[in-house]
Amino acid sequence: MEQILQVFFNAAILERAWPFLMRGVTMTALLSLVVVPIGLASGLAVAMLYHLHRKWLSRFLIAYVDFFRAFPPLVLLLFIYGGLPFLGIDLPLFATVTLAFLLNTSSYYGEIYRAGIESVGQGQWDAAHSTGLKGHQTLAYVVLPQAVRNVLPDLVSNTVEVVKLTSIASVVALPELLYTADMARSVTFNSSPIVLAAAIYLVMLWPVVRLISRLERRIAA
């Protein structure tokens, strides 16, 4: 038991690693605060473009969504990180990671929004049109609010996945939470920093998971 405590819960190492991990938490939070809002907005744009009913555009959007949902995010990150410099595009590391995550998350958010829009009955569209609203006004003022309410648990759940997704940025040495924890582990030759990082992720995300459960029950009621 004492050996387990020394390897995974070493108080002295945890105290020394704490400041470094807090810097990682800051980077994780910053990355999430950039990726989530832009991902939500771009996903909404994808979903709304579906409803322009342009055949060529719909085919392009289907290909875009299917491709980035099927493409592993870690492979996508490594592809952009290693491939763009060969094209003469030298982005800062933070921008590279953000681009990879946005391509992935916008496709998921787009499908969630699209499912929400399609969950609103045709009667809502007809009723709005009967009051004189045009198509885009009906979508923005009548359909979209109901659609977002219908898929709100899915949107929040996907946002949790996005925050967890930030951990793979460690493979390209972006100093987020997992990367700083792994660096602390390599210096101390002890797994306690990794355990601390896991605990921080749990503290950050567990309240959101409980919120999702409450939203699902409320919508079901």
Higher-confidence residue of 122 and 204: namely: 204
Reduce the DSSP state of residue 54 to 3 states and report it: coil
CA–CA distance, 218 with 212 (Å, rounded to integer): 10
Number of structural domains the chain divides into:
1
pLDDT at 219: 65
CA–CA distance, 129 with 139 (Å, rounded to integer): 10
Burial of 56 from C-beta contacts in 10 A (0-12 / 13-18 / 19+):
exposed
CA–CA distance, 83 with 145 (Å, rounded to integer): 40
Is the pLDDT confidence value at 94 over 90?
Answer: yes
* Region 193-204 average pLDDT: 92
CA–CA distance, 144 with 146 (Å, rounded to integer): 5
Is the pLDDT confidence value at 210 over 80?
Answer: yes
pLDDT at 201: 93
**Can you give the pTM of this predicted structure?**
0.88
| Residue with tokens 């101390």, as numbered in its chain | 188
Instruction: Give the range of the structural domain holding residue 131, as residue numbers without chain letter.
Output: 2-220
Which CATH number does the domain housing residue 206 bear? 1.10.3720.10
pLDDT > 90: what percent of the chain?
A: 49
* Region 134-161 average pLDDT: 85
pLDDT at 165: 92
pLDDT at 23: 94
pLDDT at 189: 87
Q: What's the mean per-residue pLDDT of the chain?
A: 87
Is the pLDDT confidence value at 220 over 70?
Answer: no
